[in-house]
Structure 1
């Protein structure tokens, strides 16, 4: 969030009132360095900030604003500053509704005397994980702040922060997978069971190898997204690069979050009963991983964001995706050990093209239902292309090639398969709702 706040301020041209904050946020001296929070979630809100934000911003004579409202979920509550959304008031004294009434505000948590800046801590959250980061419910009762975006541009202005925090989330996912695999690998080299080390049991090593493939795929997706961000920040990004960054940021966050949760859970299982014991330090890895699928946008919210990027760009982001994927796979087609896997990936890419062509004719509800599977397909196919590109590199090892082969053996385009089964039609919608809300015959009259 600190990195993201600096990015937002930079995108605004580092206006004079924010220059001091920017210096603190980007300082390398720990005695001068500031951290930043991000306060967007309110009791009615969650991801729906347009309708859920009730905090009111009242203009003061000196040009600043005071904020009045209740922030239900404020991560890094002990930070030095924060960026938050507030709703403006029109000339008639009424709050402006919808996104056009939202603006982005900068505030420091404490005043010059060290007292809280119109902030009352209502309670600290008792969370499943990430307990090292304090999260609280806060009442803003006249918190002095500075409007740093035009009225109605609050959500758009904070979107730069979301790009950064979602990439950081991907870093956390890739790092969490790597950590549990490294621990599991060392444990397997020392733990005896049934007369031999765990590393000499083929099934155990196969399980860790599957985790390794997931971790390597997540790492390459992370580095690709970071590469695109670097090109954008240095003004070297082509139009295709910009479209890819817009698409891959939510895709990488949502998919690696799910990967991390599955891999870390499998990792704990590889320790047997030790993985369930708090004094080993292992359970906290799983607790902390759960948040990776939730904060900065849940899987469904990000899937809809992926869909929005496709629609808003009139398909240009998909064209960029198709082109980049095909380019990465080409080199692998010339490598005997990789050509079969490359063809599997291109076949999945063709299936995705067919789906997008057909789905575009079936309306918004159909596309919304397919959004999650569609995003998974984007992730699986692109990771496959990255693994193939890496394995086709002259300096790649045999295990790099094997990893690309293993990845291509899975279902790479689940949205195509789901469409063929009728998962997104209107009948399925009705049956899904009945399945969720109709009481099972096994429980009727018993619960």
Structure 2
């Protein structure tokens, strides 16, 4: 029987060769390679607004890396998970965590760029803003490697409470040198720092911790202790040292409260410290980062800060990591939005390019507003950190920053999961396939909302701050009031917001409602003060009028969606 030849013209008029069933068309190209800084008008705007423009050359360079080799490294680092190796081939306990080379590339590139140290080394206006921009972009390549980078960065203010330790450790912590080897800290030029606070029985309630510390000789700040206990979450166990909390005791055996300690992986005498990794957590997201359970069986550590004041000492680190949760979640939003916009701009449906369809424009513009509002308040907190670094006595700014970080951490991190899902839906079926970055972003999106204090913890922290120092309410409301007088809707919203604090009896029950309203007002105020007028007005018309629906894509007709979309992606 003779073989029958079938042929048909393709989209370009040429006949398909034998065996082909179709030609691939109406499928967008991948976004990469691209420059994560040059392509992001919103990021450029907020870096310049808050004094970070002096670092733009370096941000352009890092943006190019994020949109090329680091983006690819993010896929590999999440595909090939960290592996725990308790013993070497000779049977010696080593507690080693092995990573794929792509993870080390991500860490090395970030550390060489100053992701972990820029404000501590470049003490000038805009340093925190520039460093936040680095984190914002790095997260778009891989959020997981951001965890040890964040903790290393955030450890510096806590360690400053102990000058003799800080003098030896901080120069290596802030060095732009990455060394992942499992060797003693004194043999390295650059160090990374982790954190271990959470225990099984307590979770966010660290005062329920049971880990104990016993002095080796002298007692008090800067002295050597041995730690006995466990930690349910020890983030990044491959770091060179960890800030931990443990109880100390008086001669009668009564607890003096929780103290903060710096616990190195290796003892100063060159022996492996008695810190034993029990297992790595098998997490739904943040896969490239190793999170572990550990036990301390007489582990060597130095006390940092005052005895019994460990929570106060380590809270400065926690405040910085919560700020990084804001920036990181904003970065996840940005990458999801960029992918959705790029896909819809390269695909047609129902006779038009997708991002020319009115309803899709509503969705994309709505997402763009949300993304920029998240970035705006994140950069406002970075600006606040810059102001406080130059003037630590600025009580007004300190009060504002104290409550703003908790509000921003709650709101942005809470919004990220729904935001990421909506971007995935814009892409459609391709968006749920693991070849695309969206599934990884979606699994990552709830992590920051849970880590460093979940939503309820953040809301209660806002109330605690207000009760401890009522002037923080005044400081925050004064920030909001800077935008007064430009939009009637905002002015009315601000006036109504003040009434939320009249009924103190139900305030804790209503805490989420109150914090959400504070977040909306703060984003609106920041956009009114510093953003393009079209963004500010679109935010107010949608978020403060009650005309915005439960989901994205419900902007009122007064919003010029096409104008908003022009700020999404410049390639």
TM over 0.5: yes
For residue 404 of structure 1, what is the aligned residue in structure 2? 536
Instruction: State the Cα distance separating 1:329 from its structure 2 match.
Output: 3.2
For residue 419 of structure 2, what is the aligned residue in structure 1? 263
Work out whether residues 70 and 138 of structure 1, in 8 Å CA contact, stay in contact via their aligned partners in 2: yes
Q: For the structure 1 residues 236 and 47, does the alpha-carbon distance in structure 2 shift closer, same or farther, using more than 3 Å as the test?
A: closer
Root-mean-square deviation over aligned CA pairs: 1.8
Tell me, in whole angstroms, the C-alpha distance in 1 between the residues paired with 2:474 and 2:444.
36
Please identify the structure whose Cα radius of gyration is greater. 2
Instruction: State the Cα distance separating 1:6 from its structure 2 match.
Output: 1.1
Alignment of 1:150-229 (within 5 A): 150-229=306-385
For residue 318 of structure 1, what is the aligned residue in structure 2? 473
Pick one of 292, 296, 303 that aligns with 2:452: 296
Instruction: Please identify which structure carries the higher helix content.
Output: 1
For residue 359 of structure 1, what is the aligned residue in structure 2? 503
For residue 284 of structure 2, what is the aligned residue in structure 1? 128
Instruction: State the Cα distance separating 1:328 from its structure 2 match.
Output: 2.6
**TM-score of the pair, normalised by structure 1:** 0.82
1:47 aligns with 2:228: no
**TM-score of the pair, normalised by structure 2:** 0.65
Superposed CA offset, 1:304-362 (max 9, x none): 0001111111x2111112222112334xx2xxxxxxxx211111111111121x213xx
Greater length-normalized contact order (CA 8 Å, ≥ 6 residues apart): 2
Secondary structure of the structure 2 residue equivalent to 1:278: coil
Structure 1 unmatched ranges of 5 or more:
334-341, 392-399, 415-447
Pick one of 15, 18, 26 that aligns with 2:163: 15
Instruction: State the Cα distance separating 1:84 from its structure 2 match.
Output: 0.4
Secondary structure of the structure 1 residue equivalent to 2:262: strand
Tell me, in whole angstroms, the C-alpha distance in 2 between the residues paired with 1:114 and 1:282.
44
Instruction: State the Cα distance separating 1:411 from its structure 2 match.
Output: 5.2
Secondary structure of the structure 2 residue equivalent to 1:261: helix
Q: For the structure 1 residues 412 and 45, does the alpha-carbon distance in structure 2 shift closer, same or farther, using more than 3 Å as the test?
A: farther
Secondary structure of the structure 1 residue equivalent to 2:507: helix
Q: For the structure 1 residues 319 and 141, does the alpha-carbon distance in structure 2 shift closer, same or farther, using more than 3 Å as the test?
A: same
Work out whether residues 267 and 300 of structure 2, in 8 Å CA contact, stay in contact via their aligned partners in 1: no
Q: For the structure 1 residues 411 and 237, does the alpha-carbon distance in structure 2 shift closer, same or farther, using more than 3 Å as the test?
A: farther
Tell me, in whole angstroms, the C-alpha distance in 1 between the residues paired with 2:398 and 2:425.
40
Tell me, in whole angstroms, the C-alpha distance in 2 between the residues paired with 1:74 and 1:349.
42
Instruction: State the Cα distance separating 1:236 from its structure 2 match.
Output: 5.8
For residue 494 of structure 2, what is the aligned residue in structure 1? 349
Instruction: State the Cα distance separating 1:413 from its structure 2 match.
Output: 9.7
Tell me, in whole angstroms, the C-alpha distance in 2 between the residues paired with 1:266 and 1:237.
43
Q: For the structure 1 residues 148 and 238, does the alpha-carbon distance in structure 2 shift closer, same or farther, using more than 3 Å as the test?
A: closer
Tell me, in whole angstroms, the C-alpha distance in 2 between the residues paired with 1:373 and 1:188.
35
Work out whether residues 159 and 165 of structure 2, in 8 Å CA contact, stay in contact via their aligned partners in 1: no
For residue 108 of structure 1, what is the aligned residue in structure 2? 264
For residue 77 of structure 1, what is the aligned residue in structure 2? 237
Tell me, in whole angstroms, the C-alpha distance in 2 between the residues paired with 1:413 and 1:80.
51
Superposed CA offset, 1:15-41 (max 9, x none): 123322111111123352211111000
More displaced 10-residue stretch of structure 1: 302-311 or 14-23: 14-23
